[in-house]
Amino acid sequence: MPQPSTGPSEADTFLAVCDHTHLFPGARCRLQRLPDPRAFAADPQPIDVDLRFSDGVIADAELRTGGPAGPVLTVPPYTTEAGTLIDGRAWLIRRFTSTEDEVELTIGRHAQT
């Protein structure tokens, strides 16, 4: 079945630029190149995400929706540019905000897995 033109398909991977070298409650990342950022912010869909942290490290992540706790961003373990190992975690997404051509994710607390 064809995907709607207003949202990403399951196979798409989108870049999210983060302002820090790791995630924490209140951290923000900006999803880029979404076909319709406003529609995505209003009704987020599951997507694969390449998180680009402030030190240039990129980590694969998954944004999943529809769970009982709400949208969750799952990030596997990765190592910062300075050599710090960051454990894999699942994070609740507190808020999706459409800002012109991007969607800002505000990270919430750890998700129960």
* pLDDT digits 0-9 by tens, 31-75: 999 999 999 999 999 999 999 999 999 999 999 998 899 999 999
Those residues whose C-beta lies under 8 Å from the C-beta of residue 92, and which sit 6 or more positions away, are 69, 70, 71, 72, 107, 108, 109, 110, 111
- Which letter does DSSP use for residue 7 in this model? S
- Which letter does DSSP use for residue 19 in this model? S
| pLDDT bucket at 7, cuts 50 / 70 / 90 | very low
